[in-house]
Chain A
Amino acid sequence: MSLQIFSLMRHELLLIAVLLLILVAEIFWDPARKKNIRIFAVILFGIITLLGFLPVPEGSLFGEMYIVTPVRLMMKNILNIGVLIVLLQSITWLGKEKNSDKISEYFILLLSTLTGMSYMISSGHFLMLYLGLELATIPLAALAAFDRYSNNSAEAGIKLILSSALSSGILLYGLSMIYGTVGNLYFTEVAGLFTGSNLALLGFIFFFTGMAFKISIVPFHLWTADVYEGAPVNVTSYLSVISKGAALFIFIIVLFSVFPAISVVWQKMIYVLSILTMTIGNLFAIRQQNLKRFLAFSSISQAGYILLGVIGGNELGMASVVYYLLVYIFSNLGAFGVAIAISNASGKENIDDYNGLYKTNPGLSLIMMLALFSLAGIPPVAGFFGKFFLFTAAAEQGFFILVLIAILNTIISLYYYLLVIKAMFINKSENPIPPLKSDFPTRLALTLCVGGIVIVGFASIIFEYIRNMSFGV
């Protein structure tokens, strides 16, 4: 153990440090000024986000159980940025009276899930993966049930924890079979020893579905909408972006580096599942009235699109997925940011409530529109580039029909995104949401999102950067 560990495991260690600091602060802070913990925590987190960008040597720890490569670091940084935005967006909400007694809990829970994700991203062993996954999931259930006095929140919590328990059970069962056929669970060794025996395949499928649950791929997605709707908006935004992103990322790593031997198999599976995911997600999204639920289904279909990058199965696929996740974080958080701001101010969460929003809140409406366009993949915002690269990755493998279906699906999704835009810009309302003045953190968060949405696409350097790192997954 030397300093090297610190630098390699920097993200996780810093996160834990922040966790502890918040805990300490919670104990010693003057109760009257507990609200300031919010600022304290966000600033701390901002600092570690910046620190995350420091250059770092590649390497591995614990006998390759923990691996650091540039792309994994990049992914962590992307998640950090996302979490920073989420935290910024949470400040107003946490300042509310009903949350005043559990401010630090929020941070602790949230940051511990992030720690879990970081470990998951860096994992080089299925045990590490599993631990990270659970660490990322169990506190999330608590977060989903964060709103103690809301039926929906409680329901969301129980649905999340029980479903995810089931899925991790199945995932573990799969792992146990893989273990039985291979003899150990290091990524590198499994990759070398993996056979196409039926037991191993069964194990793979079980593992696959466990992961698919996390990414909410149809038909393993059913928890998603309910949890998203029930959980507090901030948590939903976190769920939809960060936890899904982390799971997706490691999903690709595992598929690419552990199971390349059966790539034909999982490509076919993903082919079917991605079509299902996009289509079902979209079809459900069409009818939604609650904005959170709406975004939940939209995020399901987004996962379907991302699978197109996964199916690419090469550096381009990897790069396009990571890039898209970055874009997606900005876009989705932008959309959620507006929803949060409005929910905080007026408590309204239905699409109908947004009628005539542009008249009263032009700025928020424009941000929402940008974010939705980005999600729909409309140029010149970043989502277009993200989608384009995903489709390119799939097309490179010759999956043109799949690409066609995906793009046709984007039309359905465009339809419902336009419904929201229509509500804001075209529909008239008797009592629109009054003009609201958002505070600095919210503005900062939204500015970050808008900046990301606008710049990430045009600035080719970002994509090229990710692309260059994606070699040697």
Chain B
Amino acid sequence: MNNGIPLQYFLILASIMFFVGIYGFLTRRNLIGILMSVELILNSVNINFLAFNRYLYPDRLEGLFFSLFIIAVAAAEAAVAIAIIINIYRRFSTVNVEHVNEMRF
């Protein structure tokens, strides 16, 4: 079981990924890039779940299943998002997020 990597490492990795994702979300100008950042966030969550499950509560597989579902949902989400991004591209001829701000105030 304990193959030498402490739980904290996973958690730190996950937090790094999480914040990288957030950073990406806030700074990437490309819509696809933003979407990928979100995926990064979701994956950091997956890591968290799996690590907790494996290290702390190995008798039940809740975390595991949770992350499976997250992956599935993320896929669906990405599909819809990309579809909309394509439409955005059609309408705005760009996928730069800064140009998608017709509605404000």
Contacts and interface: CB of A to CB of B under 8 A. Distances in A.
B56 to A, nearest CB: 7
Given A134-B77, A169-B21, A184-B57, A148 B49 contact: no
A158 interface: yes
A176 interface: yes
Q: Which has the most chain B C-beta neighbours within 10 Å: A141, A169, A170?
A: A169
Contact of A165 (B38, B60, B83, B88): B38
A220 interface: no
Contacts of B91: 149-151, 154
A149 B87 CA distance: 9
Contacts of B80: 138-139, 141-142, 161
Interface of A: 127, 130-131, 134, 138-139, 141-142, 145, 148-152, 154-159, 161-162, 165-166, 168-170, 172-173, 175-177, 179-180, 183-185, 225-226, 229-230, 287, 293
Interface string B11-42: 10010001001100100000100110010011
B61 to A, nearest CB: 10
A162 B102 contact: no
Given A131-B69, A162-B34, A180-B56, A145 B103 contact: no
A157 B31 CA distance: 12
Contacts, number: 126
Contacts of B49: 176, 179
B42 A145 contact: no
Q: Which has the most chain A C-beta neighbours within 10 Å: B44, B45, B69?
A: B45
B contact patch SS? helix
A145 B65 contact: no
Given A127-B69, A138-B77, A177-B48, A158 B18 contact: no
A148 B87 contact: yes
B69 A173 contact: no
A297 to B, nearest CB: 11
B62 interface: yes
A contact patch SS? helix
Q: Which has the most chain B C-beta neighbours within 10 Å: A142, A157, A173?
A: A173
The 4 closest A-B pairs by CB, nearest first: A169-B41, A176-B48, A180-B52, A172-B45
Contact of A158 (B44, B73, B85, B104): B85
Contact of A134 (B11, B76, B81, B104): B76
Given A142-B84, A162-B34, A173 B103 contact: no
Contacts of A165: 35, 38, 42, 77, 81
Nearest to A126: B66
A127 B73 CA distance: 12
A184 B45 CA distance: 15
B93 to A, nearest CB: 11
B45 A176 contact: yes
A94 to B, nearest CB: 20
25 contacts: A127-B66, A127-B69, A130-B66, A130-B69, A134-B77, A138-B76, A138-B77, A138-B80, A141-B84, A150-B91, A151-B91, A151-B92, A154-B84, A154-B90, A155-B100, A157-B87, A158-B84, A158-B85, A166-B41, A176-B14, A179-B48, A179-B52, A180-B52, A180-B56, A183-B56
A152 B102 contact: yes
Contact of B103 (A139, A152, A172): A152
A230 B84 CA distance: 13
Given A141-B81, A145-B87, A226-B104, A176 B42 contact: no
A257 B104 CA distance: 38
A229 B41 CA distance: 28
A287 B104 CA distance: 12
Given A131-B69, A179-B49, 18 more contacts: A127-B62, A138-B76, A142-B83, A152-B102, A152-B103, A155-B100, A155-B103, A156-B103, A158-B31, A158-B84, A166-B38, A169-B42, A172-B45, A176-B14, A176-B45, A180-B52, A184-B62, A287-B105
A154 B44 CA distance: 29
B80 to A, nearest CB: 5
